[in-house]
Protein backbone atom coordinates (compact mmCIF):
# COMPACT_ATOMS: atom_id res chain seq x y z
CA UNK A 1 0.00 0.00 0.00
CA UNK A 2 1.09 3.56 -0.57
CA UNK A 3 0.35 6.11 2.18
CA UNK A 4 0.86 9.83 2.00
CA UNK A 5 1.03 12.11 5.03
CA UNK A 6 -2.18 13.77 6.12
CA UNK A 7 -1.17 17.29 6.98
CA UNK A 8 -3.84 17.51 9.66
CA UNK A 9 -2.02 14.76 11.52
CA UNK A 10 1.21 16.68 11.11
CA UNK A 11 -0.33 19.69 12.83
CA UNK A 12 -1.58 17.41 15.62
CA UNK A 13 1.89 15.89 16.03
CA UNK A 14 3.67 19.22 16.23
CA UNK A 15 1.06 20.55 18.65
CA UNK A 16 1.48 17.40 20.72
CA UNK A 17 5.26 17.75 20.80
CA UNK A 18 4.95 21.35 21.93
CA UNK A 19 2.53 20.28 24.64
CA UNK A 20 5.01 17.68 25.84
CA UNK A 21 7.63 20.38 26.31
CA UNK A 22 5.48 21.95 29.00
CA UNK A 23 5.21 18.78 31.05
CA UNK A 24 8.20 16.56 30.24
CA UNK A 25 11.37 16.86 32.25
CA UNK A 26 13.48 16.11 29.14
CA UNK A 27 11.33 17.68 26.44
CA UNK A 28 11.28 17.79 22.71
CA UNK A 29 11.29 21.38 21.59
CA UNK A 30 11.49 23.15 18.28
CA UNK A 31 12.73 26.71 17.96
CA UNK A 32 14.02 28.88 15.13
CA UNK A 33 16.46 31.77 15.21
CA UNK A 34 15.73 34.85 13.10
CA UNK A 35 12.46 33.28 12.04
CA UNK A 36 10.72 35.07 9.18
CA UNK A 37 7.05 34.42 8.29
CA UNK A 38 7.80 33.88 4.61
CA UNK A 39 6.74 31.32 2.05
CA UNK A 40 10.34 30.51 1.26
CA UNK A 41 12.69 28.81 3.73
CA UNK A 42 14.98 31.54 4.99
CA UNK A 43 14.92 30.20 8.55
CA UNK A 44 18.48 30.37 9.80
CA UNK A 45 19.78 28.03 12.45
CA UNK A 46 16.63 26.08 13.24
CA UNK A 47 17.49 24.28 16.47
CA UNK A 48 15.84 20.99 17.26
CA UNK A 49 16.53 18.79 20.26
CA UNK A 50 15.10 15.33 20.77
CA UNK A 51 16.02 13.94 24.15
CA UNK A 52 13.47 11.28 25.07
CA UNK A 53 13.58 7.85 23.47
CA UNK A 54 9.80 7.53 23.76
CA UNK A 55 9.25 10.73 21.81
CA UNK A 56 11.67 9.64 19.10
CA UNK A 57 9.79 6.36 18.74
CA UNK A 58 6.52 8.25 18.55
CA UNK A 59 7.97 10.24 15.65
CA UNK A 60 9.05 7.06 13.84
CA UNK A 61 5.64 5.44 14.39
CA UNK A 62 3.96 8.60 13.22
CA UNK A 63 5.96 8.74 10.00
CA UNK A 64 5.08 5.12 9.28
CA UNK A 65 1.36 5.47 9.82
CA UNK A 66 0.19 8.81 8.51
CA UNK A 67 0.16 10.53 5.14
CA UNK A 68 -0.02 14.03 3.70
CA UNK A 69 -1.03 15.47 0.39
CA UNK A 70 0.44 18.55 -1.24
CA UNK A 71 0.34 21.47 1.17
CA UNK A 72 -0.65 24.93 0.13
CA UNK A 73 1.93 27.62 0.77
CA UNK A 74 0.65 28.69 4.15
CA UNK A 75 3.53 30.13 6.23
CA UNK A 76 2.56 28.30 9.42
CA UNK A 77 2.39 24.94 7.64
CA UNK A 78 5.63 25.54 5.79
CA UNK A 79 7.31 26.42 9.08
CA UNK A 80 6.17 23.17 10.70
CA UNK A 81 7.36 21.11 7.74
CA UNK A 82 10.69 22.91 7.87
CA UNK A 83 11.05 22.06 11.57
CA UNK A 84 10.22 18.42 10.83
CA UNK A 85 12.88 18.34 8.08
CA UNK A 86 15.40 19.66 10.61
CA UNK A 87 14.40 17.02 13.13
CA UNK A 88 14.84 14.22 10.60
CA UNK A 89 18.21 15.64 9.61
CA UNK A 90 19.27 15.42 13.25
CA UNK A 91 18.32 11.73 13.13
CA UNK A 92 20.45 11.33 9.97
CA UNK A 93 17.35 10.48 7.95
CA UNK A 94 18.58 12.65 5.11
CA UNK A 95 16.39 11.38 2.23
CA UNK A 96 13.27 11.63 4.38
CA UNK A 97 14.33 15.04 5.71
CA UNK A 98 14.77 16.39 2.20
CA UNK A 99 11.35 14.99 1.23
CA UNK A 100 9.77 17.04 4.01
CA UNK A 101 11.85 20.06 2.99
CA UNK A 102 10.69 19.58 -0.61
CA UNK A 103 7.14 20.27 0.52
CA UNK A 104 8.19 23.73 1.70
CA UNK A 105 9.46 24.77 -1.73
CA UNK A 106 8.03 26.26 -4.87
CA UNK A 107 9.06 23.91 -7.74
CA UNK A 108 11.93 25.14 -9.91
CA UNK A 109 12.44 23.76 -13.41
CA UNK A 110 16.24 23.45 -13.15
CA UNK A 111 16.34 21.54 -9.87
CA UNK A 112 13.06 19.68 -9.44
CA UNK A 113 11.61 17.35 -12.01
CA UNK A 114 8.41 16.48 -10.17
CA UNK A 115 5.54 18.20 -8.41
CA UNK A 116 5.61 15.89 -5.39
CA UNK A 117 7.86 13.52 -3.44
CA UNK A 118 5.37 11.43 -1.47
CA UNK A 119 6.45 9.84 1.79
CA UNK A 120 5.42 6.21 1.54
CA UNK A 121 5.88 2.83 3.17
CA UNK A 122 8.97 2.47 1.01
CA UNK A 123 10.62 4.78 3.53
CA UNK A 124 10.24 2.11 6.21
CA UNK A 125 13.65 0.60 5.50
CA UNK A 126 15.30 3.94 6.21
CA UNK A 127 13.32 4.41 9.40
CA UNK A 128 14.06 0.89 10.65
CA UNK A 129 17.75 1.26 9.83
CA UNK A 130 18.01 4.47 11.82
CA UNK A 131 16.04 3.22 14.84
CA UNK A 132 19.39 2.25 16.35
CA UNK A 133 20.00 5.99 16.79
CA UNK A 134 17.04 6.31 19.15
CA UNK A 135 18.47 7.32 22.48
CA UNK A 136 22.00 7.25 21.03
CA UNK A 137 24.49 10.08 21.10
CA UNK A 138 24.51 11.35 17.52
CA UNK A 139 27.53 13.53 18.38
CA UNK A 140 29.66 10.47 19.09
CA UNK A 141 32.56 10.07 16.69
CA UNK A 142 32.25 6.90 14.62
CA UNK A 143 35.09 5.60 12.51
CA UNK A 144 33.98 5.75 8.89
CA UNK A 145 34.97 2.85 6.65
CA UNK A 146 36.70 3.21 3.27
CA UNK A 147 34.54 3.12 0.18
CA UNK A 148 35.55 3.13 -3.48
CA UNK A 149 34.38 5.69 -6.01
CA UNK A 150 33.03 2.74 -8.03
CA UNK A 151 30.82 1.84 -5.09
CA UNK A 152 29.63 5.44 -4.83
CA UNK A 153 28.67 5.53 -8.52
CA UNK A 154 27.10 2.07 -8.37
CA UNK A 155 24.76 3.26 -5.61
CA UNK A 156 22.86 5.27 -8.21
CA UNK A 157 22.99 2.70 -11.03
CA UNK A 158 19.71 1.14 -9.96
CA UNK A 159 18.07 1.16 -13.39
CA UNK A 160 15.22 3.32 -12.09
CA UNK A 161 13.86 6.59 -13.43
CA UNK A 162 14.90 9.56 -11.30
CA UNK A 163 12.45 12.37 -10.56
CA UNK A 164 14.63 14.52 -8.26
CA UNK A 165 18.16 14.86 -6.91
CA UNK A 166 19.56 16.45 -3.77
CA UNK A 167 22.87 17.28 -2.12
CA UNK A 168 23.48 17.73 1.60
CA UNK A 169 26.67 19.50 2.70
CA UNK A 170 27.91 18.58 6.20
CA UNK A 171 30.58 20.14 8.43
CA UNK A 172 31.87 18.80 11.74
CA UNK A 173 33.95 21.42 13.54
CA UNK A 174 36.80 20.47 15.90
CA UNK A 175 35.06 22.67 18.50
CA UNK A 176 31.38 23.24 17.87
CA UNK A 177 30.43 26.86 17.36
CA UNK A 178 34.01 28.14 17.18
CA UNK A 179 36.36 28.78 14.23
CA UNK A 180 39.07 26.76 15.98
CA UNK A 181 41.04 24.83 13.36
CA UNK A 182 42.12 21.95 15.55
CA UNK A 183 41.78 20.60 19.05
CA UNK A 184 44.71 18.31 19.80
CA UNK A 185 44.61 15.80 16.91
CA UNK A 186 40.99 16.58 16.00
CA UNK A 187 40.72 18.72 12.84
CA UNK A 188 37.01 18.11 12.14
CA UNK A 189 35.59 16.88 8.85
CA UNK A 190 33.57 17.99 5.83
CA UNK A 191 31.50 15.55 3.78
CA UNK A 192 28.49 15.35 1.48
CA UNK A 193 25.35 13.27 0.96
CA UNK A 194 23.94 12.61 -2.50
CA UNK A 195 20.33 11.49 -2.94
CA UNK A 196 18.48 10.25 -6.03
CA UNK A 197 14.68 9.98 -5.78
CA UNK A 198 12.99 7.50 -8.11
CA UNK A 199 9.57 7.51 -9.76
CA UNK A 200 8.54 4.38 -7.80
CA UNK A 201 9.01 6.26 -4.48
CA UNK A 202 12.31 4.52 -3.75
CA UNK A 203 15.58 6.37 -3.43
CA UNK A 204 19.33 5.83 -3.55
CA UNK A 205 21.60 7.77 -1.19
CA UNK A 206 25.14 7.77 0.15
CA UNK A 207 27.15 10.00 2.48
CA UNK A 208 30.88 10.19 1.88
CA UNK A 209 33.97 12.32 2.36
CA UNK A 210 37.56 12.62 1.20
CA UNK A 211 40.20 11.32 3.63
CA UNK A 212 43.95 10.87 3.92
CA UNK A 213 45.21 7.31 3.64
CA UNK A 214 48.30 7.57 5.77
CA UNK A 215 51.49 6.37 4.10
CA UNK A 216 53.28 6.80 7.46
CA UNK A 217 52.41 8.08 10.96
CA UNK A 218 53.23 11.69 10.04
CA UNK A 219 51.25 11.73 6.80
CA UNK A 220 48.57 14.45 6.54
CA UNK A 221 50.21 16.47 9.29
CA UNK A 222 51.91 19.87 9.00
CA UNK A 223 55.25 18.05 8.82
CA UNK A 224 54.27 15.82 5.90
CA UNK A 225 51.03 17.33 4.52
CA UNK A 226 50.66 15.11 1.44
CA UNK A 227 49.69 11.46 1.37
CA UNK A 228 47.55 8.91 -0.45
CA UNK A 229 43.79 9.32 -0.27
CA UNK A 230 40.55 7.41 0.03
CA UNK A 231 36.83 8.02 0.27
CA UNK A 232 34.94 6.85 3.34
CA UNK A 233 31.29 6.13 4.04
CA UNK A 234 30.15 8.93 6.37
CA UNK A 235 26.52 7.87 6.78
CA UNK A 236 27.01 7.67 10.56
CA UNK A 237 29.44 10.57 10.90
CA UNK A 238 28.52 13.35 13.32
CA UNK A 239 28.13 16.93 12.06
CA UNK A 240 27.55 20.41 13.44
CA UNK A 241 26.22 22.32 10.40
CA UNK A 242 24.25 21.23 7.34
CA UNK A 243 23.05 22.79 4.10
CA UNK A 244 20.63 20.83 1.90
CA UNK A 245 19.55 21.64 -1.64
CA UNK A 246 17.64 20.02 -4.49
CA UNK A 247 19.72 20.03 -7.65
CA UNK A 248 19.39 19.18 -11.33
CA UNK A 249 20.48 15.91 -12.95
CA UNK A 250 23.24 17.84 -14.70
CA UNK A 251 24.66 19.08 -11.41
CA UNK A 252 24.26 15.68 -9.80
CA UNK A 253 26.27 14.06 -12.58
CA UNK A 254 28.96 16.75 -12.31
CA UNK A 255 29.40 15.91 -8.62
CA UNK A 256 29.74 12.22 -9.47
CA UNK A 257 32.30 13.16 -12.13
CA UNK A 258 34.21 15.16 -9.51
CA UNK A 259 34.19 12.09 -7.28
CA UNK A 260 35.69 10.00 -10.07
CA UNK A 261 38.35 12.65 -10.66
CA UNK A 262 39.35 12.35 -7.02
CA UNK A 263 40.07 8.64 -7.37
CA UNK A 264 43.68 8.12 -6.21
CA UNK A 265 44.40 11.88 -6.25
CA UNK A 266 46.84 12.93 -3.53
CA UNK A 267 45.46 14.27 -0.27
CA UNK A 268 47.15 17.46 0.93
CA UNK A 269 46.44 19.00 4.30
CA UNK A 270 46.65 22.56 2.96
CA UNK A 271 45.71 22.27 -0.70
CA UNK A 272 43.41 19.27 -1.18
CA UNK A 273 41.68 18.13 1.97
CA UNK A 274 38.16 17.01 2.92
CA UNK A 275 36.86 20.58 2.97
CA UNK A 276 38.36 21.34 -0.45
CA UNK A 277 36.47 18.38 -1.89
CA UNK A 278 33.25 19.27 -0.07
CA UNK A 279 33.38 22.90 -1.17
CA UNK A 280 33.96 21.88 -4.80
CA UNK A 281 30.96 19.55 -4.68
CA UNK A 282 28.87 22.28 -3.04
CA UNK A 283 29.89 24.78 -5.73
CA UNK A 284 28.79 22.35 -8.44
CA UNK A 285 25.44 22.12 -6.65
CA UNK A 286 25.06 25.90 -6.66
CA UNK A 287 26.09 26.48 -3.04
CA UNK A 288 28.59 29.23 -2.33
CA UNK A 289 30.36 29.45 1.02
CA UNK A 290 32.92 32.17 1.72
CA UNK A 291 35.54 32.83 4.41
CA UNK A 292 36.51 29.17 4.67
CA UNK A 293 40.29 29.45 5.08
CA UNK A 294 42.54 29.65 8.11
CA UNK A 295 46.14 29.02 9.06
CA UNK A 296 47.94 26.59 11.35
CA UNK A 297 51.62 25.88 12.07
CA UNK A 298 53.41 25.24 8.74
CA UNK A 299 50.21 25.44 6.71
CA UNK A 300 46.96 27.13 5.74
CA UNK A 301 43.85 26.48 3.68
CA UNK A 302 40.19 25.53 3.76
CA UNK A 303 39.19 23.68 6.93
CA UNK A 304 36.08 22.49 8.81
CA UNK A 305 36.51 24.84 11.77
CA UNK A 306 36.37 28.07 9.79
CA UNK A 307 33.93 26.71 7.19
CA UNK A 308 31.49 25.62 9.89
CA UNK A 309 31.72 29.02 11.53
CA UNK A 310 30.93 30.71 8.20
CA UNK A 311 27.81 28.57 7.93
CA UNK A 312 26.80 29.65 11.43
CA UNK A 313 27.33 33.29 10.50
CA UNK A 314 25.31 33.04 7.29
CA UNK A 315 28.27 33.40 4.95
CA UNK A 316 26.71 31.33 2.18
CA UNK A 317 24.02 31.52 -0.44
CA UNK A 318 22.17 29.66 -3.15
CA UNK A 319 23.79 30.85 -6.37
CA UNK A 320 20.52 30.22 -8.21
CA UNK A 321 18.74 32.88 -6.17
CA UNK A 322 21.56 35.00 -4.77
CA UNK A 323 20.29 34.50 -1.22
CA UNK A 324 19.45 31.63 1.14
CA UNK A 325 16.11 30.68 -0.39
CA UNK A 326 15.37 27.00 -1.08
CA UNK A 327 18.10 25.78 1.27
CA UNK A 328 17.62 23.45 4.22
CA UNK A 329 19.73 24.99 7.00
CA UNK A 330 20.40 23.05 10.19
CA UNK A 331 22.95 23.43 12.97
CA UNK A 332 23.46 21.99 16.44
CA UNK A 333 24.46 25.20 18.21
Tell me the domain boundaries of the chain.
1-135, 144-333
**How far from chain centre, in Å, is Cα 183?**
24
| Residue predicted with more confidence, 132 or 160 | 160
Query: Model pTM?
Result: 0.80
- What pLDDT does 73 receive? 58
Yes or no: say if 92 and 30 are a contact pair by the CB < 8 Å rule.
Answer: no
- pLDDT above 70 covers what percent of the chain? 68
Beta strands at 203-213 and 241-247: parallel, antiparallel or unpaired:
unpaired
pLDDT beyond 80 at 110: no
pLDDT average, residue stretch 19-34: 32
| Residue predicted with more confidence, 40 or 192 | 192
- What pLDDT does 143 receive? 83
CA distances in angstroms from 234 to 166, 174, 280, listed in the order given = 16, 16, 18
Amino acid sequence: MNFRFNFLFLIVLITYLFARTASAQSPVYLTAVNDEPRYTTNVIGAEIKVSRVEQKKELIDYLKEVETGNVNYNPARIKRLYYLANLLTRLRLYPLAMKCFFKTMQPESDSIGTTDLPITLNDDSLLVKQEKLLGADTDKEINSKPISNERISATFDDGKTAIAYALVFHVKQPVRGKPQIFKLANTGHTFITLIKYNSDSTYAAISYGFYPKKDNPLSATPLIPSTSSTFKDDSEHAWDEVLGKFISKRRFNKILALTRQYHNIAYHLSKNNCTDFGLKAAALAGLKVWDTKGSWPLGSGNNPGVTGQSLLEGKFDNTDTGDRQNLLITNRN
